[in-house]
């Protein structure tokens, strides 16, 4: 029995010219990306390639930007894979008009337009605002650790870095002496690889050493600020607020400040009693009441100081290290272990649209709350959003009394991890009304979180911001950065979130078209 199948004739020649418009359906993401790029301001990209002189013309910056947006939108960041897709994938060929930028050109475009690429985040957010996706009644802030393009085992202390720099410089001097004795010197193209380029090992070692020196200077400044704060607290006879640090040396500084405050308070109480005793004695009377015993607060502060001194004496000071591959990166702890990377921050609204983003070298989130709120307000102002921030949600990593009481929009900051917060709510029960009179910032925040309104509002935090990080890492494979240096990763992080917002905008457009159909 004969078999008949629907097949194709690969030798059939086209009778009419092929139109790229027929390769993709009208609602394809590639057409959407092309339209988006045509609506944003790309003047800064064109300014670098005026094409008004000799030499080969550059690739159209609009085309290159659309290519990057589409590649990031589909989870592809490798320049070599993007180059390959430009020859085999119909969508990439449509975007590029059947030209194929090589991987080096793609890399140069990303590096040369670092600042302009970072600014596309605001441009895309402005389009999201026009589509009604940038409501700011509730904003959730969170951070995630992103791996740097560097290995953990490339962290070294200052002594090792100085020795390595001295060795390379000595080797260079020896090489220079040998070359001077020769008749023909090496040309610039023949210099040793370690010294021929700015990205050579010597430059990276020197950058790592400079990073350690900058950290030492920052630590000295921070220590002075802590000492000034402790002196101010002691002068007022009060204790320092906030969590006690886990580091033994920082805990010692905290204990010293609390002991100084307790001592000032004890001396003030003793002076006040002596003054009252003198007044009664002048009137020929004896001060009534029982004479005070030893100051219990001072005794406890003294005991705590002795314990802190013993702990600090047993714990050696942590040695400063810097990474020789990416000196700007830091060692950070994640749920899966230690990583060499950065702390990437983002703020998102109820539509899961990222309204601001930043990258920091600080592994701790507590110092990022106020900068992120300020960055969000600045970004929204640039976009044209006049509505003030309503409620800001943040997890326990951002809790501090300074963050709870700082000027700015209303906020709910968890004081415990989410599961502990839920357990505390079950054990302590719900509350109603405003916090009690005289409540501390911690007590006031915990009271609000246990109210029905506060608990319901805070419950929206996790499904507002965390799915964005899940989409970045699990769906698109963005577990780390491809470039090195804080400025480079900030540009890359901004573009990641711009492409995320672009996907949200594309989804909104598809929903609107479906509703009209």
> In this predicted model, what pLDDT tens digit does every residue of 22-52 receive, in sequence order?
889 988 999 999 999 999 999 999 888 777 7
Judged by average pLDDT, the poorest of 2-6, 368-372, 377-381, 452-456 is 2-6
Flag whether pLDDT at 400 surpasses 60: yes
User: What sign for the dihedral angle of Cα 70, 73, 79, 84?
Assistant: negative
Which residues does 236 contact at the CB level (< 8 Å), separation at least 6? 261, 264
Q: What is the mean pLDDT of residues 55-82?
A: 91
Flag whether pLDDT at 366 surpasses 70: yes
Of residues 189 and 314, more confidence is placed in 314
356 φ, ψ to 5°?
-165, 155
Confidence label for 201 from pLDDT (cuts 50, 70 and 90): low
Flag whether pLDDT at 197 surpasses 60: no
How much is the pLDDT for 264? 77
Confidence label for 239 from pLDDT (cuts 50, 70 and 90): low
Beta bridge partners of 332: 339
How much is the pLDDT for 517? 58
How much is the pLDDT for 238? 56
Flag whether pLDDT at 496 surpasses 80: yes
Confidence label for 1 from pLDDT (cuts 50, 70 and 90): low
Strand 391-394 versus strand 354-360 pairing type: unpaired
Best mean pLDDT range from 208-212, 240-244, 311-315, 468-472: 468-472
How much is the pLDDT for 33? 95
Confidence label for 344 from pLDDT (cuts 50, 70 and 90): very high
Flag whether pLDDT at 290 surpasses 80: no
Q: What is the mean pLDDT of residues 90-94?
A: 93
Mean pLDDT of the chain: 83
How much is the pLDDT for 159? 74
Flag whether pLDDT at 262 surpasses 90: no
Q: What is the mean pLDDT of residues 445-464?
A: 90
Q: What is the DSSP letter of 451?
A: B
Q: How many Å apart are CA 470 and CA 430, to the nearest integer?
A: 32
* Residue pair 503/73 in contact by the 8 Å Cβ criterion: yes
Nearest residue to 346 via CA among 506, 500, 503, 135: 500
How much is the pLDDT for 243? 61
Every domain of the chain and the residues it spans: 20-112, 127-150+328-516, 159-322
Of residues 327 and 279, more confidence is placed in 327
How much is the pLDDT for 411? 94
How much is the pLDDT for 208? 66
Whole-prediction pTM: 0.76
- Coil, strand, or helix at residue 474? helix
Flag whether pLDDT at 7 surpasses 60: yes
Q: What is the pLDDT of residues 463-483, one digit of tens each?
A: 999 999 999 999 999 999 999
Best mean pLDDT range from 76-85, 165-174, 269-278: 76-85
Which residues does 436 contact at the CB level (< 8 Å), separation at least 6? 443, 447
DSSP 292-340: P-S-HHHHHHHHHHHHHHHHHHHSPPPPPEEESS-TT-EEEEETTEEEE
Helical pair 103-112 and 114-130, crossing angle rounded to 10 deg: 80
Q: How many Å apart are CA 341 and CA 484, to the nearest integer?
A: 10
Q: What is the mean pLDDT of residues 191-209?
A: 61
């Amino acid at each position: 029995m004969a078999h008949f199948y629907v097949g194709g004739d690969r030798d059939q020649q086209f009778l009419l010219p092929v139109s790229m418009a027929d390769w993709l359906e009208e609602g394809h993401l590639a057409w959407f990306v092309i339209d988006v790029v045509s609506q944003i301001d790309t003047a800064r990209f064109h300014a670098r390639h005026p094409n008004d002189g000799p030499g080969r013309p550059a690739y159209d910056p609009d085309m290159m930007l659309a290519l990057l947006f589409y590649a990031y939108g589909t989870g592809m960041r490798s320049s070599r894979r993007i180059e390959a897709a430009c020859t085999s994938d119909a969508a990439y060929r449509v975007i590029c008009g059947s030209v194929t930028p090589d991987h080096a050109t793609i890399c140069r475009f990303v590096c040369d337009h670092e600042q302009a690429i970072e600014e596309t985040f605001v441009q895309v957010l402005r389009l999201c605002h026009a589509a009604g996706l940038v409501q700011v009644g509730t904003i959730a802030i969170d951070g995630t650790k992103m791996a740097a393009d560097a290995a953990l085992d490339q962290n070294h202390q200052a002594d090792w870095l100085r020795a390595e720099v001295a060795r390379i410089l000595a080797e260079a001097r020896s090489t220079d002496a040998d070359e001077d004795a020769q008749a023909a010197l090496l040309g610039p193209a023949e210099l040793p690889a370690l010294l021929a380029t700015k990205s050579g090992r010597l430059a990276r070692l020197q950058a790592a050493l400079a990073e350690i020196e900058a950290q030492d200077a920052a630590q000295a400044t921070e220590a002075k600020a802590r000492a000034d704060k402790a002196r101010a607290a002691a002068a007022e006879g009060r204790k320092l607020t906030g969590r006690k640090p886990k580091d033994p040396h920082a805990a010692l500084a905290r204990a010293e400040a609390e002991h100084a405050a307790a001592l000032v308070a004890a001396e003030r109480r003793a002076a006040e009693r002596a003054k009252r005793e003198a007044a009664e004695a002048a009137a020929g009377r004896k001060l009534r009441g029982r004479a005070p015993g030893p100051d219990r607060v001072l005794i406890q502060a003294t005991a705590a100081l002795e314990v802190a001194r013993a702990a600090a004496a047993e714990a050696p000071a942590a040695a400063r290290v810097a990474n020789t591959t990416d000196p700007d990166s830091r060692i950070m702890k994640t749920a899966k272990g230690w990583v060499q990377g950065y702390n990437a921050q983002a703020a998102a609204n109820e539509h899961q649209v990222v309204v601001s983003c930043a990258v920091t070298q600080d592994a701790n989130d507590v110092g990022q709350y106020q900068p992120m709120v300020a960055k969000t307000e600045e970004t929204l102002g640039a976009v044209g959003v006049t509505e003030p921030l309503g409620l800001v949600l943040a997890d326990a990593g951002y809790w501090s009394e300074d963050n709870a009481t700082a000027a700015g929009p209303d906020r709910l900051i968890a004081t415990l991890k989410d599961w502990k917060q839920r357990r505390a709510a079950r054990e302590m029960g719900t509350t109603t009304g405003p916090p009690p009179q005289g409540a501390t910032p911690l007590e006031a925040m915990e009271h609000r979180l246990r109210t029905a309104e506060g608990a319901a509002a805070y419950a929206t935090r996790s499904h507002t911001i965390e799915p964005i990080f899940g989409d970045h890492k699990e769906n698109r494979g963005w577990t780390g950065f491809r470039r090195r240096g804080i400025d480079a990763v900030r540009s890359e992080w901004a573009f990641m979130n711009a492409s995320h917002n672009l996907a949200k905008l594309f989804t909104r457009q598809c929903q609107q078209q479906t509703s009209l159909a």
